Amino acid sequence: MDNTINITLKVWRQRGPKEPGKFETYELKNISTESSFLEMLDVLNEQLVQKHEEPVVFDHDCREGICGMCSLYINGQPHGKDAAVTTCQLHMRRFNDGDTITIEPWRSAGFPIIRDLMVDRTAFDKIMQAGGYVSVNTGGIPDANAIAIAKPIADEAMDAASCIGCGACVAACKNGSAMLFVSAKVSQLALLPQGKVEAAKRVKAMIAKMDELGFGNCTNTGACEAECPKSVSISNIARLNREYLCAKFKD
């Protein structure tokens, strides 16, 4: 049985944020179906370098679905057609011999293109710096059972904390909204006693920074949850809205 395929790639190439971009077409032969999508891009870049051409710039780090850096549109879907996976976890066995694969960077005003397939996602860092932390002195490390937290609440907090900040939610949203990301980061702290002290300050600051950075509004289409590689629930957005309203009422 042949475990290789021949594919055609249409890759977005753009030399800089203010430069015009366009799709370039590349033919790849004998790509192993057991290789990951990023390994396939490595093969493409090796061939380009051998031809003394500029390799394709794309983000990657852990290649284990943890860091969230592998931010790519693949055939119009963030991270590709597999559910609940990042681009680095997508394998070439999900494609057929002769397929044409279109690869683009995130398309969002909040994530300007740096070069080719790499975008600037520091907007998420700025939102986190606005309030996604606990700064109060909570004392020494308590015994694991010293603070009673119901398991369903702890599970919800952990589910929210699974967000890796990849930006697929923004890329999938027709409004370019960052509400799923912000709500996950607010929820993971709002659900726990350590995070309740600064809850009102946190949610107001993070939403204000999100709006300042130009992200769109949420209209509850659910595309963010559908494309999230960690299946973060949009129920967190409802919690974010409740937290925000409560904070404004306190004002």
Q: Residue 140 CB: number of other CB atoms within 10 A?
A: 5
- Residue 144 has a pLDDT of 64
The type of residue at 42 is: D
Residues 135, 93 share a domain:
no
Contacts of 65 (CB under 8 A, 6+ apart): 85, 86, 88, 89, 164, 229
Residue 194 — pLDDT band, cuts 50, 70, 90? confident
In a domain, 111, yes or no: no
Q: Decide if pLDDT at 1 tops 70.
A: no
* Judgement on whether residues 245 and 136 belong to the same structural domain of the protein: yes
Please tell me whether residues 21 and 89 are part of one structural domain. yes
Q: Are residues 25 and 87 in the same domain?
A: yes
Per DSSP (E only), the strands in 14-70 are: 22-32
**pTM for this model (two decimals):** 0.94
Point out the domain boundary residue: 104, 134, 157: 104
CATH of the domain at 220: 1.10.1060.10
Rounded percentage of the chain residues whose pLDDT exceeds 70? 97
pLDDT tens column, 180-193: 999 999 999 999 98
Identify the pLDDT of residue 168: 98
Which among 76, 104, 132 is the end of a domain? 104
Return the biggest CA–CA distance within the chain.
68
Quick one: pLDDT at residue 148? 84
- Give tens-digit pLDDT for 108-156: 999 999 999 999 999 999 999 999 999 987 677 777 677 789 999 999 9
Dihedrals φ, ψ of 182, to 5°?
-65, -40
pLDDT of residue 138: 65
**pLDDT tens sequence across 5-51:** 999 999 999 999 999 999 999 999 999 999 999 999 999 999 999 99
* pLDDT (average), residues 199-203: 96
